[in-house]
């Protein structure tokens, strides 16, 4: 299991949410380019760098989908290359994660992985999930393509196949729409709220061409933010580049996280420091005043009173309006002077 500082949540990152840079297949089978992408992701200061581990022969039925088979065959990395990239992340003190789509790759990757990712395509593949459970690692599940029934069925399967007493908070659910790019109307970030009702940590897996959904997802409570990562989007044919963030995009987003945290503040509702320093709690609020002079023993009537800015520290607030009506003046009181309770009986 991933080790935690006593003050750290399993799914927290350096800047609040866990930021996962999904290199996935953006290396397009070029090992040197994969190394470059890892270096860029490390430089962007993400918390986790993620790959997709597969062999075409254990992923696609060649007879039924030859083009898809050839695509994945072209994008394959060797075991030696994958381990090199994992070590490169770990040596930089960045966690390494992967969606493992090859049945034979689980065991030799066990010592490298901090989190195992179940991609949307494998949410209903219990054979893969069963393999993942044997790694005894925290599990992140993307919920693209699925409905609530399928998600609950998968969670039920995990609980039944619980080889190592998997704690509930060691499973996280990500809202995801498996479209590349995802249309704005299908991002459906409110689905995270529905996922949260299942009692698990939640997050968002990003496939939109803009970064706005990531910001909104964080505001809505996402603890995990996963996004595809590339060096550049221009001139790339592979679809994942279009929905990817670059090094500059990630750094800009981290700044926005800090802004969002600043805007979010605390759950306490009280006078803000800036309001207090500027004296707005007095200048914007109304105090209670007399419209005209009130003579000694004269009764206070509604027509005598008016609420005006500013409220004063030692004067009557406008909240005293109805309490003051019917009382009498102990002395002559001038119009618009600061009123005090002991002026009346």
Instruction: Flag whether pLDDT at 7 surpasses 90.
Output: no
- Grade residue 8 by pLDDT with cuts at 50, 70 and 90: low
Residue 78: band (very low, low, confident or very high) from pLDDT cuts 50, 70, 90: very high
| Structure tokens belonging to residue 293 | 């002079």
Q: Which of helix, strand or coil describes residue 289?
A: strand
- Is the pLDDT at 162 greater than 90? The verdict is no
- Say if residue 164's pLDDT is above 70: no
DSSP readout, 57-123?
Answer: GGTS-TTT-HHHHHHHHHH---HHHHHHHHHHHHHTT-EEEEEE--TTSHHHHTTT-SEEEE-GGGT
Q: Are 14-264 and 273-343 the same fold in CATH? A: no
**pLDDT at res. 168:** 72
Res 165: pLDDT: 59
E strands along 101-148, which residues?
115-118, 139-142
- Dihedrals phi, psi of 4, to nearest 5 degrees: -130, 145
pLDDT in tens, 311-322: 999 999 999 999
Is the pLDDT at 181 greater than 70? The verdict is yes
Q: Cis peptide before 310, with omega less than 30 degrees from 0?
A: yes
% residues pLDDT > 90 (the chain): 89
Where do we find the tokens 């249309």?
Answer: 183
CATH of region 273-343: 3.90.1210.10
Q: Which of 117-131, 163-177, 219-233, 287-301 has the lowest mean pLDDT?
A: 163-177
* pTM of the complete model: 0.88
Span 148-152, average pLDDT: 97
Q: How far is CA 66 from the centre of its chain?
A: 38
Report the C-alpha gap between 60 and 298 in whole angstroms: 94
CB atoms under 10 Å from CB of 184, counted, come to 12
Average pLDDT, the chain: 94
Residue 132: the pLDDT is 94
Instruction: Annotate 314-332 with DSSP letters as a single string.
Output: SSPBGGGHHHHTT-BBSS-
- Cβ-Cβ contacts under 8 Å for 264 (sequence gap 6 or more): 219
Domain boundaries, the chain: 14-264, 273-343
Instruction: Please give the pLDDT value at position 314.
Output: 95
- 14-264 CATH pick, 3.20.20.70, 3.40.50.10490, 3.40.50.720, 3.20.20.100: 3.20.20.70
pLDDT in tens, 204-230: 999 999 999 999 999 999 999 999 999
Q: Which of 44-58, 231-245, 292-306 has the lowest mean pLDDT?
A: 231-245
* Rounded Cα–Cα distance for residues 49 and 229 (Å): 9
Beta strands in the chain (DSSP E): 12-13, 16-24, 48-53, 95-100, 115-118, 139-142, 171-176, 202-206, 224-228, 287-290, 305-308
pLDDT of residue 266: 87
27 and 188 Cβ atoms separated by less than 8 Å: no
DSSP letter for each residue of 158-180: HHHT-TT---GGGEEEEEE---S
């Amino acid at each position: 299991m991933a080790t935690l500082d006593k003050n750290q949540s399993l799914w927290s990152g350096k800047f609040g949410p866990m930021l996962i840079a999904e290199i996935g297949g953006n290396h397009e089978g070029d090992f040197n380019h994969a190394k470059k992408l890892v270096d860029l992701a490390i430089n962007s200061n993400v918390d986790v760098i993620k790959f997709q581990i597969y062999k075409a022969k254990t992923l696609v039925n060649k007879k039924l989908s030859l083009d898809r088979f050839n695509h994945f065959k072209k994008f394959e990395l060797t075991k030696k290359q994958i381990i090199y990239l994992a070590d490169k992340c770990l040596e930089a003190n960045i966690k390494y994660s992967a969606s493992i789509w090859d049945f034979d790759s689980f065991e030799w990757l066990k010592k490298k992985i901090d989190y195992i990712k179940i991609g949307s395509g494998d949410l209903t593949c219990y054979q893969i999930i069963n393999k993942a459970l044997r790694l005894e690692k925290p599990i992140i599940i993307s919920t693209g393509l699925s409905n609530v029934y399928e998600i609950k069925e998968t969670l039920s399967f995990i609980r039944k196949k619980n080889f190592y007493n998997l704690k509930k908070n060691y499973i996280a659910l990500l809202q995801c729409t498996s479209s590349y790019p995802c249309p704005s109307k299908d991002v459906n970030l409110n689905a995270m709220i529905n996922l949260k009702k299942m009692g698990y940590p939640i997050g968002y897996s990003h496939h939109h061409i803009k970064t706005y959904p990531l910001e909104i997802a964080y505001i809505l409570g996402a603890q995990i933010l996963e996004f595809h990562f590339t060096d550049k989007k221009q001139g790339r044919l592979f679809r994942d580049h279009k929905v990817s963030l670059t090094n500059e995009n990630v750094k800009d987003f981290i700044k926005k996280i800090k802004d969002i945290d600043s805007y979010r503040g605390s759950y306490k509702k009280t006078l803000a420091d800036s309001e207090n320093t500027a004296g707005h709690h007095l200048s914007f609020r109304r105090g209670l005043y007399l419209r005209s002079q009130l003579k000694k023993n004269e009764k206070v009537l509604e027509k005598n009173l008016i609420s005006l800015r500013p409220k004063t520290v030692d004067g009557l607030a406008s909240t005293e309006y109805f309490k003051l009506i019917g009382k009498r003046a102990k002395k002559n009181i001038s119009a618009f002077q600061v009123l005090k309770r002991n002026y009346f009986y």
